[in-house]
Structure 1
Amino acid sequence: MIEKRKKLLKRLLIIPPLIIGIAVVIWQVNNKQGPQQEPVQESAKKVRVMTVAEMSVVPRALGFGNVAPGMIWQAVTEISGQIVEIHPQLKKGAILPKGIVALKIDPTDYQLNLQKTKADIRALQAQITEVKERRVNTRASLAIDNRSLKLAENDLKRKQTLLRRKTVSQAAVDQEERNLLARRQSAQSLKNTLNLLPAEEERLNAQLAALNIQLETVKRNLARTTITLPFDARIAEVSIEQSQFAKLGQTVIIADSIDIAEVSAQVPIEKMQRLVSSRQLQNVTAASAMANIEKNFDLKPIVRFNSGNLNAAWQGRVARISDQVDPRTRTVGVIVAVDNPYNLNKDTTGPPLTKNMYVEVELRGSEQKNKIVIPRQALHTGSKVYVTNSENRLQIRVVTVHFLQGGLAVIKSGLKAGERIAISDLVPAIDGMLLSPEEDQKAVQALVQEAAGEGSLK
């Protein structure tokens, strides 16, 4: 019994220390200080920026098209005959000078016809001369007959007087009257001849005029036996050979001019509009504008050909504008002419500007001054820019874009010179976020160069 009490007492002795330990732990928890927290600091996002400035912009637009010769000459035979001569270099692709005899048609028949026509003219001229001589002779004969008629009339009067005196017979008077009538008949015949001679001469002159016209036709036909090049040309096609028979109206040669090449470049309408300032449109009628496009609008085109290692460029001029707009692509054709396309610049290498080459045409308008220009990459979602304010915080601002060109954007409103904009991406871009701006001078220099028209436009 005593042992049981001792064991119970030992167990009870464990409880007080436990209670004390628990109390100590509770006290320590309640009086323990939390970890010391440092205040949170805002981090700045690094970003490349540039200061907005007014600058001059050269508006540019790109178009593409195929090269065509300024003139295409088709040699169509105006007579028929056998080909008796062909220039030895008259072959596809050859370049021949103006005035060279390309081919000849047998002229024999036309030469004979020329000789016959000339002989007919000489014969007719002889007939006309004969008529003129007949007129002179007839007039002389008529003058003589008139004198004889006058004498015969006097003789008849004298014999009629003698008949009344009965010194001559009636038969003598009758004979004298018959002589008078014969004289009158002869004179009348000569008058009739004189009256008919002008009509005969007029008929002969008309025949002579017809023969002269025929002579000119024969001469023209004889000249048509020789076909010469009307300008310096590159031969595109030859469709006849030596000794072949050329039919009337047959196309035997096709040649392209080499002094001028043309490109019909398709340019979007909105890009064409920005090439021409409103000042240039004042006091310019549609007719005068089309008559002298270069002078009125100061458009400077450059034609380029790029294919692998082949690169060439030509300075062109705007010759005219197409008569219609493509409703599907909303483009207008600008016909650019290049003078002397076969004479390349010394600092360029490449082929001549030949037919059917697919080329790029860059049109440049007059310089537009005092424009707000930013890099195109600084535009976000089409109309937002990231402005860095004086406190280096981000301000997302909506701007109005005047036009886009290559890697730049011309701003109409929403930005002022002197403001800073971010030109690198911010992900995420939060309005009011702190920025660490770094001025990018290289980007500014590249922007100025592109605005001035330097570099490629894509």
Structure 2
Amino acid sequence: MASKKQVLLPIGALAVAIALAAGFSSMKKPPVKKEQEVVAPLVEVTPVNLTDITMQVHSYGEVMAQEQTELVAQVSGQVVEIAEQFVKGGFVKEGDVLVRIDPNDYEAALIEAQAGLAQAQSALEIEQAQAHVAKTEWQRIKDNANAVIPSELYLRKPQLAEKLAKFKAAQAQVKRANRNLERTYIRAPYDALVTAKKVSLGSVVNPGNMLGQIDATSIAKVRLPVANKDMQFLVDGGVGAKVTLTGEIAGSTHTWQGEIVRNEGIVDKRSRMTYLVAYVENPYEQVQPLRFGAYTNATIVGQHITNAAVVPSHLIKDNRIALIDEETKLVFSSLAVIREQDGMAYVTAGLESGQQVITSALEYPTEGMQLRLDDEPAQSTMTQLALKED
């Protein structure tokens, strides 16, 4: 059984420990109050500038000739002459003789037809004279009371009609022979670029044989697809609008000016695009020729809009944009955005000249929150936080 001393000793030690802890606790200093600064967020801004804007619609297309002609033989014969410039890639002028077919048979046919015409004309003149004699004879005897009405045959009217018909047929023969002889000359119908040659010297051709192909160089044509949503930004469906074509040649970028001349009037079944047709005059006479087959990008001039602003699209959320007011506080403005293109938004309402658009990111943007600009001293609000010392 434990003695009284053994029981009281632990209790006394515990009481001393408690007293010491209470003493040390009373000696500890109270918590120190410190001030923490909360600095207003620093932002970057750009001023709003309302201006007049000309909308643009972008497209693309391949350069083609407006007119393309296949040269086809209309008479048969041997090719006896080919023009030096009648080669693929050669340029020819309107009226140039490109191919000549042997004309001998057609010259002989023309001479024969001319001879037949001379005979028919002679026979017609003789018959006209005989008809005149018959009519005169009738005039002389018609006073006789017993005279009867003469027949058409007596007045030689059927014979005259026959000779006149043969004369006209002979004229047609001459005309046909002349035409066939002319067709032995294959001429360029316009200034053109030769894109194909299908005949050689000495070849024998028949009507319908293809001799070559030429493309007119007076006008280059480009079909430009335009999305339905972009058609609203063009005036009169784009017809009459100016267009700038851009393409690369030998590693350099070049531009050409053209005009939209027509709308094809249908929506393509596969692409659902509307096609506009642009013309560029004298493409091969430009400082840098616009060659057929080249691929180009196109910028079409569209509607003219007044008092509009252009801002980066990423600054707009739910058709609202963050601004900084005169008190350097954040405010939101609702916008009327008519178009977004190439990362920019076209705004027609909701902004005024001189307003400041916030261009830097804010972690938790709140209407009315205090902000500061680069050229302003840091402004802060003071809060009291209790910080306990160790």
TM-score, scaled relative to structure 1 = 0.71
Alignment root-mean-square deviation, CA? 3.3
What corresponds to 2:274 in structure 1?
332
Deviations 1:427-454, CA, capped at 9 Å, x for gaps: 4545554433359xxxxxxxxxxxxxxx
Is the contact between residue 139 and residue 194 of structure 1 (CA under 8 Å) also seen in structure 2? Answer: no
Q: AA paired with 1:364?
A: V
Aligned: 1:33 with 2:34: no
Aligned: 1:65 with 2:61: yes
TM-aligned CA deviation for residue 141 of structure 1? 6.5
Is the contact between residue 135 and residue 194 of structure 1 (CA under 8 Å) also seen in structure 2? Answer: no
What corresponds to 1:84 in structure 2?
80
Superposed counterparts of 1:202-281, under 5 Å: 202-276=161-235
Find the aligned partners of 2:263 and 2:68 in 1 and give their Cα distance: 20
What corresponds to 1:181 in structure 2?
none
Q: AA paired with 1:48?
A: E
Find the aligned partners of 2:268 and 2:30 in 1 and give their Cα distance: 78
TM-aligned CA deviation for residue 127 of structure 1? 1.2
Aligned: 1:355 with 2:297: no
Q: 1:405 aligns with which of 335, 341, 346?
A: 341
Q: 2:305 aligns with which of 361, 368, 378?
A: 368
Aligned: 1:304 with 2:246: yes
Structure number with higher strand proportion: 2
Change (3 A) 1:52 1:356: same
Find the aligned partners of 1:232 and 1:218 in 2 and give their Cα distance: 28
Is the contact between residue 64 and residue 222 of structure 2 (CA under 8 Å) also seen in structure 1? Answer: yes
Change (3 A) 1:30 1:411: farther
Deviations 1:282-312, CA, capped at 9 Å, x for gaps: xxxxxxx89xx32xxxx22001103672311
Superposed counterparts of 1:61-210, under 5 Å: 61-138=57-134, 195-210=154-169
Change (3 A) 1:129 1:392: same
What corresponds to 2:44 in structure 1?
48
Aligned: 1:319 with 2:261: yes
Deviations 1:242-290, CA, capped at 9 Å, x for gaps: 11111112221210111210110111122221133xxxx6xxxxxxx89
Is the contact between residue 135 and residue 155 of structure 2 (CA under 8 Å) also seen in structure 1? Answer: no
TM-aligned CA deviation for residue 230 of structure 1? 1.4
Is the contact between residue 263 and residue 275 of structure 2 (CA under 8 Å) also seen in structure 1? Answer: yes
Q: AA paired with 1:356?
A: G
Find the aligned partners of 2:28 and 2:88 in 1 and give their Cα distance: 104
Find the aligned partners of 1:140 and 1:330 in 2 and give their Cα distance: 82
Unaligned runs of 5+ in 1: 1-7, 151-183, 282-288, 440-458
**What fraction of aligned residue pairs are identical, expressed as a percent?**
25
What corresponds to 1:175 in structure 2?
none
Change (3 A) 1:27 1:307: farther
Corresponding pairs, count: 369
Aligned partner of residue 45 in structure 1, secondary structure: coil
Q: Which 10-residue stretch deviates more, 420-429 or 245-254?
A: 420-429
Is the contact between residue 318 and residue 335 of structure 1 (CA under 8 Å) also seen in structure 2? Answer: yes
Change (3 A) 1:370 1:125: same
Aligned partner of residue 436 in structure 1, secondary structure: coil
Change (3 A) 1:203 1:396: same
Find the aligned partners of 1:115 and 1:377 in 2 and give their Cα distance: 84
Deviations 1:89-118, CA, capped at 9 Å, x for gaps: 211111122221101111111111111111
TM-aligned CA deviation for residue 317 of structure 1? 0.8
TM-aligned CA deviation for residue 226 of structure 1? 0.3
Is the contact between residue 43 and residue 434 of structure 1 (CA under 8 Å) also seen in structure 2? Answer: no
Find the aligned partners of 2:359 and 2:198 in 1 and give their Cα distance: 63
Find the aligned partners of 1:219 and 1:101 in 2 and give their Cα distance: 17
TM-aligned CA deviation for residue 87 of structure 1? 0.5
Larger Rg: 1
Q: AA paired with 2:292?
A: K
Is the contact between residue 124 and residue 167 of structure 2 (CA under 8 Å) also seen in structure 1? Answer: no
Find the aligned partners of 2:277 and 2:94 in 1 and give their Cα distance: 26
TM-score, scaled relative to structure 2 = 0.83
Deviations 1:300-356, CA, capped at 9 Å, x for gaps: 2001103672311101011111221135544211111011212334xxxx5x21222
What corresponds to 2:384 in structure 1?
none
Structure number with higher helix proportion: 1
Q: Which 10-residue stretch deviates more, 131-140 or 121-130?
A: 131-140
Change (3 A) 1:379 1:328: farther
Q: AA paired with 1:123?
A: Q
